[in-house]
Amino acid sequence: MNLRIGIGVDAHRRVNGRTLVLGGVTIPSAFGLEAHSDGDVICHAIIEALLGAANMGDKGRLFPPTDEQYKGIRSTVLLERTWSAVSRAHHVLVNVDVSVMCEEPRIAPHTDQMKQELASAMKASPEQISIKGTTLEHMGFTGRREGIAAMAVVLLTREQS
């Protein structure tokens, strides 16, 4: 087996007046995340991890934040496009593991729906995706409620072509 591991990290600042989207799910909240796209840190971290495992660069190269076609775009669309490129390069998803770091909102009530959305975007099974939330005990920018961060680890295998 040709196994490849990728790690992705993303973080965005909280802002009032924006919709909060995490893992492709709109979550009731008084704030959203500042970004060129919808700011979905879970999708962004997974995209970075997929690209890293496939040795295909980074999200900014594939989807430049200066490109107006990506302004306000749903990050699940970016994830679908990333997975399409990764799978065309003969990679097969083994699993994804995501940790979301925030004081609020609580992640657990939304993880099943997030898994469904992410699995759909990656043509995978929800059982291949793990999502966990954690606080950082009021430390750092997430602890001060200034933003939300996510880290993803992806395991791919490569089909023999």
Task: Give the pLDDT mean for 137-148.
Answer: 91
Q: In terms of residues, how long is the chain? A: 161
Helix, strand, coil percentages in the chain from 3-state DSSP, rounded to 5: 35, 30, 35
Nearest CA to 89 out of 7, 155, 157 is that of 157
Please tell me the predicted confidence (pLDDT) of residue 139: 87
d(CA 134, CA 86): 29
d(CA 147, CA 128): 27
The answer to whether the predicted template modeling score (pTM) of the entire model surpasses 0.75 is: yes
Give 1's pLDDT tier (boundaries 50, 70, 90).
low
Nearest CA to 76 out of 104, 101, 113 is that of 113
- With 90 as the cut, is the pLDDT of residue 66 above it? no
Which tens digit of pLDDT belongs to each residue from 81-123?
999 999 999 999 999 999 999 999 999 999 999 999 999 999 9
Q: DSSP per residue over 35-100, as a string? A: SSS---HHHHHHHHHHHHHTT---HHHHS-TT-GGGTT--HHHHHHHHHHHHHHTTEEEEEEEEEE
Give 128's pLDDT tier (boundaries 50, 70, 90).
very high
Residue 18 contacts by C-beta under 8 Å, 6 or more apart in sequence?
Answer: 31, 32, 33, 34, 39
Which tens digit of pLDDT belongs to each residue from 3-56?
999 999 999 999 999 999 999 999 999 999 999 899 999 999 999 999 999 999
Show me where the domains of the chain are located: 3-158
133: three-class secondary structure by DSSP: strand
Report the CATH superfamily, name and number, of domain 3-158. 2-C-methyl-D-erythritol 2,4-cyclodiphosphate synthase (3.30.1330.50)
